[in-house]
Chain A
Amino acid sequence: MSIEFRHVSKTFPDGTTAVEDFSLTIPSRETTVLVGSSGCGKTTLLRMINRMVDPSSGSILIDGKDIAEIPPVGLRRSIGYVMQNSGLLPHRTVADNVATVPMLTGVPKRKAREDALALLDRVGLDRALAGRYPSQLSGGQQQRVGVARGLAVDPNILLMDEPFGAVDPIVRDELQQELLRLQGTLGKTVVFVTHDIDEAFLLGNQVVILQRGGRIAQVGTPKEILANPANEFVADFIGAKRGKRRLRIDETGRGEDVLLVDAAGYAAGVLSADDARLVLTGSGPKSRSVSNKTDQAGDA
């Protein structure tokens, strides 16, 4: 299920040009992350894949077939979509929310509900939550339900628009790991939107760094981008942060363990003397995944 953008542009009726001449191939069964600052056209690009937005010019192909010829309702039912604030239906229980699309497509109610429960297991939610309403869940739980709903029809393509943007860093971290685990077993074609470069590098097999107007600044694996930023903009986008995150050994550190501090002078971790393993202090401003990334950045 590869997705191909061919010279796609989108100008909204009010004259805003959100995307200009965008071409990209999104490989099958991998995670592609679109990353860029607010307003650069990420959501617009993503929503063109399930025809929530139609391009003004150019075409989008899924497995070689132009989606302009596929009726939008059917297309959307075959593609999972997860959005920032989960978009759950407030008047339906968790199980009913997850079962919504299968029921629309004619799966019998009983079966749809059973499948929904299995999906809750999959995304790491207690089945006991099945009868709750979205307003009775935490933000992280709602997001998990959102992911379960996105997977409910077992779609080949999963679109995720800043799905973890509104949860706290610890929960975000959990959800990211959960997604990595899921993707490891499911192998969907995932298109993930974020403005957090760390998240992009963590989750993406392919990362697309976007500039205003949906212009591609660089496409590549995280490693390629970190090793060879294509231009000033990319270097800035990833590098400014990298500089801040560069760790050094704190000279004043006493004892066998060595204290690591980041560029701002905050303690970021401890290098244990016995096995030279990075131990997190938890007091640093960055979460664990970030430190991992720092590690990676250091490698590169």
Chain B
Amino acid sequence: MDWVWTHLDLISSETLAHIGLSVPPIVIGFLVSIPLGYWASRSAVARSVLLTIGNVLYTIPALALVVLVPVVLGLSLLNPGNVVVALTLYAVAIMVRSAADAFASVSADVRQSATALGYSAAQRFFRVELPLAGPVLLAGIRVVSVSTISLVTIGALVGIPSLGSFFTDGFQRAFLLEAAVGFVLVLVLAAVFDVLLTVLGRVLLPWNRGLRPTAAARRVIAQQLPPIGAR
């Protein structure tokens, strides 16, 4: 345990780096997925094109994606931004599907009655469809959050520091405590993010409180998202 006390600085800086690499993909992934998911929910062609692209992206192992993204974009290979871009792509790949389901779960009746009440298209989207899609969107973003926080660690293999550095360093020195600290902190971060998102959901979706998750939300939560850690 001494190691922890003597390395608090390192632990906190790696944790901060980890958070810094995790937040942008989650936020950007969410924002990008909303319009894409909405489009996918309204057009079968868009849905199949977007989901197919998402699936292909998701099939690429993370270690390879972290390398290929900067090459394709012409960036430096050791830029921490690479992890952010790669994980944002994953986030979008997962989240577009959830968002498409979320908007599709808004019943056509509700949409039509909103139109009949005189909402403009934009008003209808922001005041009716987005709030009603909220619970499923929330379920989707929670999956993205857990996945992203776990995936950031892969960056350590190509020299981008995060809590994952404790895994590589711990293994090289056969030092269990260090690896375990990294492991626990990743889980703690994931849990903290999850709680934050849940609280945010409670605040933004007050009517959803106490309701059992809808079938669509449950499906998103239970989805066999393959590969989190390694992809």
Direct contact, A vs B (beta carbon within 8 Å): no
Residues of A within 8 A of B (CB): none
Residues of B within 8 A of A (CB): none
